[in-house]
Structure 1
Amino acid sequence: MVSLNTDLLSDLSCYLFNALFLSVFLCACYKSPWRLIKSNSRLQHLCFGASVALILLWSIKADISSGISIHLIGMTAMSLVLGWDLAIVCASISLALVTLASGSSWSSFAANGVITILLPVTVTYITAAIVDRKLPKNFFIYLFVCGFFCAGLCAMLIGLSVSLTLWVNDIHPWVTIQREIMTIIVLTIFPEGLLNGVFLSAIMAFYPDWIRS
């Protein structure tokens, strides 16, 4: 998937991204089961391990153009394991540490938070709710729909969101976006789905009680 690494966002875009990200982040902090975390060492280890895994995953990236980098995201599996609230909190901490370590622009932090954290967490939450209500309770249905398919869908939506953000803010012309980013979107759908699907299948097979969704 692609993410932003630019300080060229307009003031209006920065304001909107900051307001949305801060609002949802505070809501996630409020909803998170802090008492359970305090008393449950396994959940503490899960949160810590997931945060470290995201830091490592997001640190392996390639810059494909000015203001654009590509890396896998892994948020679908994290959302299914930790739940939407803890996934947002832990991923936000990971994003802050990656931004600090890589020297990326803090002006795009909230934009990346909305696009690479809030968007996939929301899509995963909705997909899991639909599967739970509409489809049979089956291991493979949950794995392929919530894991593989949903992760690929998230990769596509993230790429489109980054493309629209770059275009609306006049950072790149649409021709450049089509040539560089649209191709990347197609190439990242399957790897993103495979990564989340493999991780989720291992968790479901050996540690099914780890999954909160």
Structure 2
Amino acid sequence: MDKEISVFADNWNALGWAGVAILLWFAWRSGDLARLKDGARLNLFLGVAVALMVMWQIRTGVKPGLSFHMLGASLATLMFGFWRGWLAASLAALAAALTGKASLMGLGLESLLFCAVPAAVTHHLYRFVDRRLPNHFFVYVLANGFFGAALAIGAAALASTAVLALSGAYAMGYLLENYTPYFILLAWSEALTTGMGATLMAVYRPEWLETFDDERYIKNK
């Protein structure tokens, strides 16, 4: 959702902001944000947020509201879990809006569609893999990093396509021809970046990945 003016009607933007408010309330209630009181964790979180801000500045688009850029939400979720992963990506969305790359009014929907949706998909896939598949390094990297990131951005693409069509911003036929298919290219880039990032951190900085336990995935093999 680029440009300074949102392509959505005010009621859709209001729904987006209401959704963000609800998520923030649940995030606070979960107690997960209290982990940022630790200085080392806070520094890492802010560093990742800044990196995502840079990533979100590099974008292209065909029409207002139809922009393409990498998300980074999957890697942030593997590092911090759902709540802080979503928040880090949302800070990147906020920076994009403040710099004129996206609509400030549409920031709520941006946060839900391109931050919360991929973070939720990554989180739930991780939980499934953790319960059902062997505790193996390559299973973690391939399933959560590569496949998980591709699945997450695919879910974000479908969700944004549905909202854009239901809101009347664009016709579904136009979106399916000129918008949604291009996320296939982004999915490959997102998967490669997330998988490589998760691999490097698992090897050299496993403490940065809160979803990764080197005792389970490496040392006991």
Cα shift at 1:184: 0.6
CA contact (8 A) 2:76 2:88 kept: no
Does the 8 Å contact 2:72/2:89 carry over to 1? no
Secondary structure in 1 aligned to 2:106? helix
How far apart, in 2, do the equivalents of 1:152 and 1:89 lie?
20
Identity of counterpart residues, as a percentage? 22
* Counterpart Cα distance in 2 of 1:182 and 1:90: 25
Counterpart residue type for residue 78 of structure 1: A
**Cα shift at 1:33:** 4.3
2:94 matched residue in structure 1: 96
- Residue equivalent to 1:78: 76
Q: CA deviation at 1:194?
A: 0.5
Cα 1:103/1:148, change in 2 over 3 Å: closer
Contact 1:32 1:85 (C-alpha < 8 Å) held by counterparts: no
Residue 106 of structure 2: which of 103, 108, 111 is its match? 108
1:188 to partner: Cα distance: 1.4
Name the structure 2 match of 1:188: 186
| Root-mean-square deviation over aligned CA pairs | 1.7
**Displacement, 1:103?**
5.3
Letter in 2 for 1:25: L
- Equivalent residue for 1:165? 163
Structure 2 residue ranges without an equivalent (≥5): 212-221
User: How many residues of Structure 1 are paired with residues of Structure 2 in the alignment?
Assistant: 210
Question: In 2, Cα distance between the equivalents of 1:147 and 1:103?
Answer: 28
Distance 2:163 2:191 in 1: 24
Alignment of 1:23-62 (within 5 A): 23-33=22-32, 35-38=34-37, 40-62=38-60
Letter paired with 2:18: A
- Please tell me whether the aligned partners of residues 150 and 188 of structure 2 are also in contact (alpha carbons under 8 angstroms): yes
Q: Is the 8 A contact 2:73 2:86 kept in 1?
A: no
Identify unmatched segments of 5+ residues in structure 1: none
2:19 equivalent in structure 1: 20
1:90-169 matched pairs, under 5 angstroms:
90-102=88-100, 104-169=102-167
Q: Which residue does 1:69 correspond to in 2?
A: 67
1:139 partner letter: F
SS at structure 2 position matched to 1:106: coil
Post-superposition CA distance 1:92-148 (Å, at most 9, x none): 222212210125322210000000111111111101111111111000001011111
Verify: 1:177 aligned to 2:175, yes or no.
yes
Mapped to 2, the partners of 1:56 and 1:147 lie a distance apart of 21
Classify the secondary structure of the residue corresponding to 2:181: helix
> Conserved in 2, the CA contact under 8 Å of 1:28 and 1:89?
no
Moved over 3 A (4+): 3-6, 32-36
Cα separation, 2, equivalents of 1:177 and 1:201: 35
Q: Is the 8 A contact 1:82 1:212 kept in 2?
A: yes
Name the CA distance, whole Å, in 1 between partners of 2:85 and 2:147: 19
Partners of 2:110 and 2:12 in 1: CA distance = 12
CA distance in 2, matches of 1:209, 1:13: 40
User: How many angstroms does 1:32 deviate by?
Assistant: 4.4
Counterpart Cα distance in 2 of 1:51 and 1:66: 25
Deviation at 1:173, TM superposition (A): 1.8
